[in-house]
């Protein structure tokens, strides 16, 4: 029996495009048999509910607030909840794991970084960076292609909110450059198109168990094919 983990999801506390609360999301994932979730709300350079007038430290606390509420609910119902965020650069999105609120508070210029600078900082600080839905097509995305693969630790090859051809292109890109693969629902509500994520052979004790399994190609992708 494997343990299924969500790698990409949002809460209405922090992501302006989400439609249900952190607590509702946790209960929904628990009911669907997940062992845990990584909360990846939008950063302040994306579709965030964070008030721009706040000081930097308060902005970062807001970014983490969806995770905090989800963690409290997860502790009650027995769902593991881990912290991450979805960072946006020129419309392209990057899932960031393995770092904490202290990292966010200390790096007051994060939202002004380009992808090269951001990638270097995240990885130097012990974090993990994966591009989300790299072939997504939207009017606000300046470069509707994956970034240089050398800037990434992994890539989302299946996103249950994306069309099949978009996911297939991402999968081919990952194969071409031998990038670690992950999948997720990108849930903005309690409904998923397909129960997606990564499955581990043993229960994760920290987010690094998930990261290490993905990087070592030991995480089974929950895919519809």
Q: What is the pTM of this model?
A: 0.95
**Dihedral pair phi/psi, residue 83, rounded to 5°:** -100, 135
Residue 209 domain boundaries: 3-222
Report residue 129 CA to chain centroid gap.
9
What contacts 161, CB < 8 A, 6 or more positions away?
133, 185, 186, 187, 188, 193
pLDDT of 103 reads 98
DSSP secondary structure letters along 6-59: E-SB--TTTBTT--S-HHHHHHHHHHTT-SEEEEEEE-TTSSB---TTS-HHHH
Number of domains in the chain: 1
Q: Residue 75 sits in a domain of what CATH number?
A: 3.20.20.140
pLDDT of 195 reads 77
How do the pLDDT tens digits run along the chain, 225 residues long?
699 999 999 999 999 999 999 999 999 999 999 999 999 999 999 999 999 999 999 999 999 999 999 999 999 999 999 999 999 998 899 999 999 999 999 999 999 999 999 999 999 999 999 999 998 877 776 776 789 999 999 999 999 888 788 999 999 999 999 999 999 999 998 665 567 999 999 999 999 999 999 999 999 999 876
What contacts 190, CB < 8 A, 6 or more positions away?
20, 24, 25, 28
pLDDT of 135 reads 85
């Amino acid at each position: 029996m494997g343990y299924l983990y969500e790698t990409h999801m949002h809460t209405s506390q922090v992501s302006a495009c989400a439609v249900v609360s952190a607590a509702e999301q946790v209960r929904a994932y628990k009911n669907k048999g997940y062992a845990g979730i990584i909360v990846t709300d939008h950063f302040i350079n994306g579709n965030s509910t964070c008030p721009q007038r706040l000081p930097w430290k308060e902005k970062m606390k807001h970014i983490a607030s969806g995770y905090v509420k989800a963690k409290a609910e997860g502790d009650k119902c027995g769902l593991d909840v881990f912290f991450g965020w979805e960072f946006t650069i020129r419309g392209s999105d990057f899932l960031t794991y393995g770092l904490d609120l202290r990292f966010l508070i200390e790096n007051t210029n994060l939202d002004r970084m380009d992808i090269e600078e951001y990638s270097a900082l995240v990885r130097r600080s012990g974090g993990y960076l994966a591009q989300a839905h790299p072939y997504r097509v939207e009017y606000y995305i300046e470069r509707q292609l994956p970034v240089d693969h050398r800037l990434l630790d992994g890539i989302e090859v299946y996103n249950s909110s994306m069309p099949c051809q978009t996911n297939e292109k991402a999968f081919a890109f990952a194969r071409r450059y031998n990038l670690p693969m992950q999948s997720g629902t990108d849930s903005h509500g309690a409904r998923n198109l397909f129960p997606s994520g990564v499955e581990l052979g043993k229960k994760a004790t920290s987010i690094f168990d998930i990261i290490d399994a993905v990087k070592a190609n030991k995480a089974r992708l929950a895919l519809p094919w």
